[in-house]
Structure 1
Amino acid sequence: MTSAALAADPAAALDLLGSGALTVHGRVTDASNAVLYCTVALDGRTAPCVYKPVAGERPLWDFPDGTLAGREVAAYRLAAATGWALVPPTVLREGPHGPGMVQLWIEPDLSAPELLALQDPAGPEPGWLPIIRAEVGEGRTALLVHRDDERLRRLAVLDAVLNNADRKGGHWLPAADGRIYGIDHGVTFAVPGKLRTLLWGWAEQPLTEEAREVLDRLAAGLGAALDGALAEELRPHLTEAELAATGQRIDQLRSTGRHPLPSADWPSIPWPPV
């Protein structure tokens, strides 16, 4: 079974990731924290995965509580509740270097159309949405754009709920199954607004009917007093303040009915952007 096919069967994927034997094959060297490429095997099934041990995390002054691994798992749980399958199956478990996050490895489809581009500053071209004007050298500028793609738009809604502080262009992967998967959710769920993303093309536009229905479902899952089933899934990984802030972000999106605008108090574009 391919990783894409396994991702489409979350129950089987979570069983394999949570109970299988982990074998470490190497380290992803361009990551700022320990990211280990592994395989996981159980009852004749084998799949590639990423293992991020808590012991390999660097402390962050603006995320003093919890762990990156815990927030990655919480992001998966909340994303799964949307029904959009935007985050690969993810578990928290013991591994060769102690407890950590284990996530199904998604091999990007290198033949998929590009989702980011630099275009003439007079753009964007049809089918693309503007992000920001970028310096490209020798006093020249270009318009950084992303595709007007419904899969990315769903990811933008998820990021607004997660308060994702690091949605780089390399943090979404087009897969062979036609889905786009978001990865690297360690800096999410902060209480103050920290949304930093490249997916600003829909800023202040009305949310789709589908998105409004998903937000209603998330609100119901958290419960009026954070006593719902979804809140109980997230609680082991987040503080009560982070849970409450998540509910407030969902309520704010439901109230405005629009995609958020960039904050004037926080950098709105991650660095590096890709």
Structure 2
Amino acid sequence: MLPTDPDAGQFLLRGTLEIEGRLVDASNATLLCGIEADGVSARCVYKPVRGERPLWDFPDGTLAGREVGAYLVAEAAGLPLIPPTVLRDGPFGPGMAQLWVDTDTDDPGVVDVVAPRDLPEGWKPILRAQDSEGAPAVLAHSPLPAIAHLCALDVVINNADRKGGHILRGVDGNVYGVDHGICLHREHKLRTVLWGWAGEPLPDEVLDALARLRAELSGPLAQTLAEHITGAEVKALRSRVSRLLNTPVYPSPDESHYPIPWPAF
């Protein structure tokens, strides 16, 4: 079962979950599960609502729904950048289930910290600093079109935590963003490592996706999202989409708050 499988969403809803382990680096309870339905088996990430750590600026018990909301927005925009994600019951109650993305362990990834001389050709530097031994280092990301599309999606969903480790390149060759629990707030929260296109025009593919999303937000999508986020947050989402279409340029970092999440990975 691949994330691009059109039946992946229904598979996640119908399948039987069996916990295999816990991802201990996650700040909230994040469980790796086997899932099986109709003779098909795969893996998924299951995040029960009861395992969410309270945050001062996001309502309690809403992070799983925000993960689903981010996926719905990406799908409506025609940007297959988030693995299939559903809200369902599980071994520890209601929670988010997201199809697992297999990656190549030899793949260097799409975000990295390197010495300036080792910066891959075409990569976009974001931050210059020093490593633990005082040598110069650069935080940079790939110029792949899929990363540019993900950057625009993060602006739309107001992603407050786009770390480098939250971007995966699957064995299918596609790029996927994961961990969208703190998105879709109505207040400006954007924190990301993907600032490489700041001030540059949005590509035509992104403009087409935004126009598609704006049209969808005038229909049933808004009602579906209201099952996961507030009406004010849906309205703010619509405003962000319109703002980007009216000023089709990648935004620059806002100096009034920290624009890069910490840690960056």
* 1:152 CA drift (Å): 0.6
1:78-157 to structure 2, matched below 5 A, reads: 78-121=73-116, 126-157=121-152
Inter-CA distance 130–252: structure 2 relative to 1 (3 Å threshold): same
- Are 1:66 and 1:238, in contact at CA under 8 Å, matched by a contact in 2? no
* 1:264 CA drift (Å): 1.4
* 1:153 CA drift (Å): 0.6
Q: Give CA deviations for 1:7-59 in whole Å, capped at 9, x if unaligned.
A: 1113x111111011111111111111100110111111111001100000011
Gaps of 5+ in 2: none
Asked if residue 193 in structure 1 is aligned to residue 204 in structure 2, the reply is: no
In structure 1, C-alpha distance between the alignment counterparts of 2:113 and 2:89, rounded to whole Å: 43
In structure 2, C-alpha distance between the alignment counterparts of 1:61 and 1:218, rounded to whole Å: 30
Asked if residue 273 in structure 1 is aligned to residue 253 in structure 2, the reply is: no
**2:4 equivalent in structure 1:** 8
* 1:172 CA drift (Å): 0.8
Letter in 1 for 2:243: Q
Q: Give CA deviations for 1:154-205 in whole Å, capped at 9, x if unaligned.
A: 1001100010011101101101111011000000011111111110000110
Inter-CA distance 63–179: structure 2 relative to 1 (3 Å threshold): same
- Are 1:65 and 1:239, in contact at CA under 8 Å, matched by a contact in 2? no
Aligned pair count? 265
The match for 1:30 among 25, 32, 46 is: 25
In structure 2, C-alpha distance between the alignment counterparts of 1:64 and 1:178, rounded to whole Å: 36
Gaps of 5+ in 1: none
- Are 2:130 and 2:137, in contact at CA under 8 Å, matched by a contact in 1? yes
In structure 2, C-alpha distance between the alignment counterparts of 1:269 and 1:237, rounded to whole Å: 26
Aligned-partner SS, 2:131: strand
In structure 2, C-alpha distance between the alignment counterparts of 1:114 and 1:238, rounded to whole Å: 32
Letter in 1 for 2:74: A
* 1:110 CA drift (Å): 2.3
- Are 2:112 and 2:164, in contact at CA under 8 Å, matched by a contact in 1? no
**2:48 equivalent in structure 1:** 53
The match for 2:162 among 149, 158, 167 is: 167
The match for 2:249 among 258, 266, 273 is: 258
* 1:88 CA drift (Å): 0.5
> What is the percent sequence identity of the aligned residues?
50
Asked if residue 246 in structure 1 is aligned to residue 241 in structure 2, the reply is: no
- Are 2:63 and 2:182, in contact at CA under 8 Å, matched by a contact in 1? yes
Please, what is the CA RMSD of the aligned residues? Answer: 1.6
Aligned-partner SS, 1:40: strand
Inter-CA distance 122–110: structure 2 relative to 1 (3 Å threshold): closer
The match for 2:228 among 230, 237, 242 is: 237
* 1:131 CA drift (Å): 0.7
Letter in 1 for 2:87: L
In structure 2, C-alpha distance between the alignment counterparts of 1:236 and 1:118, rounded to whole Å: 39
Aligned-partner SS, 1:92: strand
* 1:232 CA drift (Å): 1.8
Aligned-partner SS, 1:231: helix
Letter in 2 for 1:232: Q
In structure 1, C-alpha distance between the alignment counterparts of 2:48 and 2:86, rounded to whole Å: 12
Inter-CA distance 213–66: structure 2 relative to 1 (3 Å threshold): farther
In structure 2, C-alpha distance between the alignment counterparts of 1:104 and 1:49, rounded to whole Å: 4
In structure 2, C-alpha distance between the alignment counterparts of 1:37 and 1:102, rounded to whole Å: 10
In structure 2, C-alpha distance between the alignment counterparts of 1:66 and 1:56, rounded to whole Å: 9
The match for 1:182 among 160, 171, 177 is: 177
Q: TM-score, normalised by structure 1?
A: 0.92
* 1:122 CA drift (Å): 8.0
Q: TM-score, normalised by structure 2?
A: 0.95
**1:208 equivalent in structure 2:** 203
Letter in 2 for 1:42: A
In structure 2, C-alpha distance between the alignment counterparts of 1:248 and 1:66, rounded to whole Å: 25
